[in-house]
């Protein structure tokens, strides 16, 4: 099954039967969809991450014990181009998702719990406020009018207050779960890893501790990938992965190259072949 999720509609395509159905993206529509799937044998339900519109549906499908998989839009779009499907409509996208499910057979992963989802949302909101604070700080530097400067400063004061409140909420959420607190405390023993990096790893890299370092590097998108063809040996590049985690690790790595003896030595060793300090290989390998 492939399901294309939009704000108002759920377009469903069953690959084996070649049937397409449309449901409203509402509580009633989602319930009707789940009930219709309960009457057939479903091997895999694939849908794209759509910025949040899919969350309630995924929860409903998981509650009905249906094998649901959420994939990245870029991966599916590349697949569509590879099979020559260039047109794009909701119904076509549902069919492409169903075909993707048959050809690629992505493995279902454990879905985040309600507490994990809440932690991710609060962290995402914190990142939004940080971005707003940066924009307002830049405006403050450019403002000439005293009235405008006063107004911008008032917004910055409000944002700082909200950031402190969100940090307190994050600490409360983590303290309420002893296992989370233990993981955060362990991560912060690494020089260069602070509160925000530890929270991000906790929320967006739950596989940490259960996979090898090579697998974790691939998940995050910091593993250098070959770019060779024939006798040509191209520069290794990082690609894909979880951008939120990668951004947090990038800043942690910059700090670690100054205060973490193990990573500092490894970083300097990578610099010996005259690699750029910001090259994918230098920082990616340190992150790995």
Q: Are 184 and 196 in contact (CB under 8 A)?
A: no
The model's confidence at residue 276, banded by pLDDT at 50, 70 and 90, is low
The answer, yes or no, to whether residue 32 has pLDDT greater than 70, is: yes
Last residue of a domain, one of 154, 176, 198: 176
The confidence score (pLDDT) of residue 164 equals 94
**Tell me, what's the pLDDT at 135?**
95
Question: Is residue 31 domain-shared with residue 60, that is, in the same domain?
Answer: yes
d(CA 179, CA 219): 22
Provide the mean pLDDT of the chain.
86
Split at pLDDT 50, 70, 90, the class of 277 is low
CB 140 within 8 A of CB 131: no
Last residue of a domain, one of 104, 122, 148: 104
Quote the pLDDT of residue 146: 93
Q: Residue 201 falls within a domain, yes or no?
A: no
Number of domains in the chain: 3
Q: What is the pLDDT of residues 159-216, one digit of tens each?
A: 999 999 999 999 999 998 888 899 999 999 988 888 999 999 988 888 888 888 888 8
Residue ranges of E strands in the chain: 2-5, 9-14, 19-24, 45-48, 68-71, 228-229, 232-233
Within this chain, do residues 44 and 100 fall inside the same structural domain, yes or no? yes
Asked whether residue 203 is domain-assigned, the answer is no
Distance (Å, rounded) from C-alpha 167 to C-alpha 159?
12
State the pLDDT confidence band at 129, using cuts at 50, 70 and 90. Answer: very high
What CATH number does residue 92 fall under? 3.30.420.40
Strand partners of residue 110: none
Domain contains 67: yes
Q: Is residue 160 part of a domain?
A: yes
Report pLDDT for 275: 64
- Residues spanned by the domain of 126: 114-176
Q: What pLDDT digit, counting tens, does each position of 81-95 carry?
A: 999 998 899 999 999
Same domain, 123 and 100: no
Indicate which CATH number applies to the domain containing 161: 1.20.58
Residue 19: which pLDDT band, with cuts at 50, 70 and 90?
confident
- pLDDT tens for 228-271 read 778 878 777 777 788 888 888 888 888 888 888 888 888 888 88
Question: Looking at 1-5, 16-20, 83-87, 126-130, which range is the least confident one?
Answer: 16-20
* Burial (CB count <10 Å: 0-12, 13-18, 19+), residue 93: buried
In this prediction, residue 155 has a pLDDT band, given cuts at 50, 70 and 90, of very high
- The predicted-structure confidence for 58-79, as pLDDT tens digits, reads as follows 888 888 888 899 888 888 999 9
Q: Are residues 12 and 95 in the same domain?
A: yes
Residue where a domain terminates, one of 73, 104, 135: 104
C-alpha 56/C-alpha 5 separation (Å) is: 11
Rounded to an integer, the average pLDDT of 3-15 is: 91
Does 164 share its domain with 225?
A: no
What whole-number distance in Å separates Cα of residue 20 and Cα of residue 53?
A: 20
Query: Does 120 map to a domain?
Result: yes
The yes-or-no verdict on residue 152 having pLDDT over 60 is: yes
List, as own/partner pairs, every contact residues 180-183 make where C-beta atoms lie below 8 angstroms and the sequence separation is at least 24, other chains included: 183/209
pLDDT category of residue 278 using cuts at 50, 70 and 90: low
pLDDT score for 288: 46
**CA–CA separation, 263 and 271 (whole Å):** 12
Asked whether the beta carbons of 37 and 80 are under 8 A apart, the reply is: no
pLDDT at 285 exceeding the cut of 90: no
Q: How far is CA 10 from the centre of its chain?
A: 23
Are 118 and 98 members of one domain?
A: no
Task: Judge whether 253 lies within some domain.
Answer: yes
What is d(CA 225, CA 234) in angstroms, rounded to the nearest whole number? Answer: 10
Residue 91, in any domain of the structure: yes
The answer on 65 and 25 residing in a single domain is yes
């Amino acid at each position: 099954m492939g399901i294309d999720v939009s704000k108002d509609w759920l377009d469903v395509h069953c690959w084996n039967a070649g049937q397409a159905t449309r449901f409203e993206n509402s509580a009633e529509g989602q319930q009707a969809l789940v009930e219709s799937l309960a009457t057939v044998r479903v091997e895999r339900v694939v849908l794209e991450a759509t910025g949040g519109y899919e969350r309630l549906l995924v929860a409903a499908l998981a509650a009905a014990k249906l094998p649901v998989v959420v994939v990245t839009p870029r991966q599916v779009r590349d697949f569509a181009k590879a099979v020559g499907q260039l047109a794009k409509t909701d119904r076509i996208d549902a069919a492409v998702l169903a075909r993707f499910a048959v050809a690629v057979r992505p493995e279902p992963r454990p879905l985040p719990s309600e507490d994990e989802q809440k932690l991710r949302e609060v962290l995402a909101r914190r990142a939004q406020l940080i971005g707003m604070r940066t924009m307002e700080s830049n405006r403050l530097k450019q403002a000439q009018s005293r009235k405008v400067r006063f107004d911008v400063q008032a917004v910055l004061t409000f944002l700082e207050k909200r950031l402190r409140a969100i940090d307190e909420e994050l600490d409360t959420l983590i303290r309420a779960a002893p296992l989370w607190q233990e993981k955060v405390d362990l991560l912060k023993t690494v020089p260069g890893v602070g509160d925000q990096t530890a929270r991000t790893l906790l929320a967006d890299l739950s596989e940490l501790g259960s996979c090898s370092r090579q697998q974790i590097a691939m998940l995050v998108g910091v593993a250098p990938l070959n770019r060779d063809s024939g006798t040509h040996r191209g520069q290794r590049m990082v690609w894909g992965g979880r951008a939120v985690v990668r951004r947090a690790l990038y800043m942690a790595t910059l700090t670690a190259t100054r205060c973490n003896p193990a990573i500092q030595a490894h970083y300097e060793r990578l610099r010996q072949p005259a690699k750029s300090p910001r090259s994918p290989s230098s920082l990616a390998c340190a992150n790995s």
